[in-house]
Amino acid sequence: DTEVTQTPKHLVMGMTNKKSLKCEQHMGHRAMYWYKQKAKKPPELMFVYSYEKLSINESVPSRFSPECPNSSLLNLHLHALQPEDSALYLCASSQVRGDTEAFFGQGTRLTVV
Amino acid sequence: LAKTTQPISMDSYEGQEVNITCSHNNIATNDYITWYQQFPSQGPRFIIQGYKTKVTNEVASLFIPADRKSSTLSLPRVSLSDTAVYYCLVGDMVSNFGNEKLTFGTGTRLTIIP
């Protein structure tokens, strides 16, 4: 199984809502990543988890809150988002942090209204 | 962290071989070169990785000259389904600190014309 599964695929939320994005992998990878991608731009790193601990936070606003409950799961909790936060949110995993062969999920298309 | 430079876009006809070059002038001794492919509204997909000379797999070839300051991704006999954005990344595989952020550059938007 070389899949990274993200749910939901699409999400529309209001600026006062609280929602969560979920990511799951069963490849035994110990590094997991959240990226944000705007249209026609490269993916931008948000967070890196290594062995279930937050390793890198790329100065992401606190309205995005990551969580890694176990080695297979990664969540991104969303609260009080702005319309400019609308984007494709991608989850990825790799064997260890720094391994450049990473596996990406299909992403969650988020629209903030 | 070595910075990469790629052409913003390229067009090619079906059936041709396509070569996309990436420049990485300040590549470090321990850095590997990795290429990803991304289709619209999908996550990037790992294509190929190499350190020097030539690497080939079922999808592509990667050519790296002796000075390693550039690399070329070669896609043989492209089809319409190869239309995508291709990203070149450079990072340290040995110490795991060189590209621990897995940072993407601007990428090359490849369009295949029927």
A88 pLDDT above the threshold of 70: yes
**A57-68 pLDDT, tens per residue?**
989 999 999 999
Residue A98: per-residue pLDDT = 77
Flag if A58 and B101 touch (Cβ within 8 Å). Answer: yes
> What is the pLDDT averaged over residues A69-88?
97
Residue type, A82: Q
Flag if A109 and B41 touch (Cβ within 8 Å). Answer: yes
CB pairs under 8 A between A and B: 68
Expressed in percent and rounded to 5, the helix, strand and coil fractions of chain A are: 5, 55, 40
Residue B110: per-residue pLDDT = 98
Torsional class of A71: left (φ above 0), alpha (ψ -120 to 50), beta (otherwise): alpha
Distance from the Cα of B60 to chain A's closest Cα (Å) equals: 15
> What is the pLDDT averaged over residues A82-97?
94
Residue with tokens 């040995």, as numbered in its chain: B94
- Taken in order B5, A40, B109, A76, the sign of the CA dihedral is positive
Number of Cβ within 10 Å of residue A15's Cβ equals: 13
The CA distances from residue A21 to A37, A46, A88, A107, A108, in Å, are: 15, 14, 11, 10, 7
Flag if A45 and B101 touch (Cβ within 8 Å). Answer: yes
> A49, A100, A103, A104: which to substitute to probe chain B, counting the most B Cβ within 10 Å?
A100
Residue B100: per-residue pLDDT = 64
Regions in chain B scoring below 70 on pLDDT: 1-2, 92-100
Instruction: Domain ranges for chain B, please list them.
Output: 9-113
> What is the pLDDT averaged over residues A7-24?
96
Q: A45: which chain B residues are within 8 Å (Cβ-Cβ)?
A: 101-103
Residue B98: per-residue pLDDT = 47
CATH label, B9-113, candidates 2.60.40.10, 1.50.10.10, 3.40.1410.10, 1.10.1040.10 = 2.60.40.10
SS (H, E, C) B4-36: CECCCEEEEECCCCEEEEEECCCCCCCEEEEEE
Q: Are A103 and A92 spatial neighbours (Cβ–Cβ below 8 Å)? A: yes
Which of B43, B96, B107 minimises the CB distance to A98? B96
Q: In chain A, pLDDT over 70 holds for what percent of residues?
A: 98
Give the pLDDT band of residue A100 (cuts 50, 70, 90): confident
**B8-26 pLDDT, tens per residue?**
999 999 999 999 999 999 8
Which of A42, A94, A98 minimises the CB distance to B98? A98
**Distance in angstroms (rounded) separating the CA atoms of residues A78 and A70:** 19
**Distance in angstroms (rounded) separating the CA atoms of residues A25 and A39:** 26
Residue A96: per-residue pLDDT = 86
> What is the pLDDT averaged over residues A20-44?
95
**Distance in angstroms (rounded) separating the CA atoms of residues A75 and B64:** 38
Flag if A42 and B98 touch (Cβ within 8 Å). Answer: no
Is omega for the bond preceding A66 within 30 degrees of 0, making it cis? no
A72 pLDDT above the threshold of 90: yes
Partner A contacted by B99 (CB < 8 A): yes
A21 pLDDT above the threshold of 80: yes
